[in-house]
Amino acid sequence: MVYNPPMNNTKKLSKKNVSKILDLLREEYPLAGCALEHQSIFELLIAVTLSAQTTDVSVNKVSGTLFEKYPDAKAMADADQDDVIEIIKTIGMYKTKSRNIINLSRELVDKYEGEVPEDYDALVALPGVGRKTANVVLSVGFGHQRIAVDTHVFRVSNRIGLASEKDVLKTEYALMDILPEDRWTEAHHSLIFHGRNCCTARNPKCEGCVIAKLCRRVGL
């Protein structure tokens, strides 16, 4: 994971400048949102689980076929693992992921009547579901304000000065502290889009960045 920490860690960004950053990112990426294709909260859960250590584009290439054959928890719970592997084999860790999505579907059927629970602790107890996946499901699927820290959010937030941490969990807590709670979900999507399109891991496009003047690495 490549990122550049803020040049000046001694002073936190002011609330005014944090709001300016969020406003500028919102203007730059008005369509920022979940890029994983899904038609239900179950499909969202499966898609996010499959997206670990791979791209959303890669997941979208296989998820349509997967969901057409296994559209809900009951169908996925009864799936043959070899068949699931055949469908998702182009993404990384497909053996582990195929096992996890079948097993988590079985738990959904056994414990929650096939429905995805609207509860963080219940979600992270499912096979293959970590903190990031649970937060995305609660945010995108159920409308809760959450910050899911993926590679892009981790890199961008620490680079521009919203956080100054070396691990994902501490970064999440730092963002929860500095960002307005009613904009957590918005910030999550905006930071992802900014990380993909401008603030890339290598050779970030600082000269064309809309928040350069507010960035700890560049402007302040």
Q: Could you read off the pLDDT of 32-66 as tens digits, one per residue? A: 999 999 999 999 999 999 999 899 999 999 999 99
- Tell me how crowded residue 67 is: count the other CB atoms within 10 A of its CB: 21
**Of 15, 74, 132, 177, which residue is the catalytic one?**
132
Q: How confident is the model at residue 13 (pLDDT cuts 50, 70, 90)?
A: confident
Domain range for 196: 15-32+146-214
**Same structural domain, 136 and 152:** no
**Same structural domain, 162 and 176:** yes
The number of folded domains in the chain is 2
The 10s digit of each residue's pLDDT in 55-98 is 999 999 999 999 999 999 999 999 999 999 999 999 989 999 99
Packing angle of the helix pair 184-197, 168-178 (nearest 10 deg): 120
The pTM of this model reads: 0.89
- The reply to whether 51 falls in a domain is yes
What is the domain-level CATH number for residue 96? 1.10.340.30
| C-beta separation of 72 from 112 below 8 A | no
**Same structural domain, 173 and 124:** no
Q: Which two tokens stand for residue 122?
A: 């219940």
**Same structural domain, 128 and 168:** no
**Of 12, 150, 177, 213, which residue is the catalytic one?**
150
**Same structural domain, 93 and 166:** no
Least Cα distance to 172 among 203, 130, 201, 119 occurs for 130
| C-beta separation of 144 from 136 below 8 A | no
Q: Is 150 one of the annotated active-site residues of the chain?
A: yes
Write the CB contacts of 10 (distance below 8 Å, at least 6 apart in sequence). Answer: none
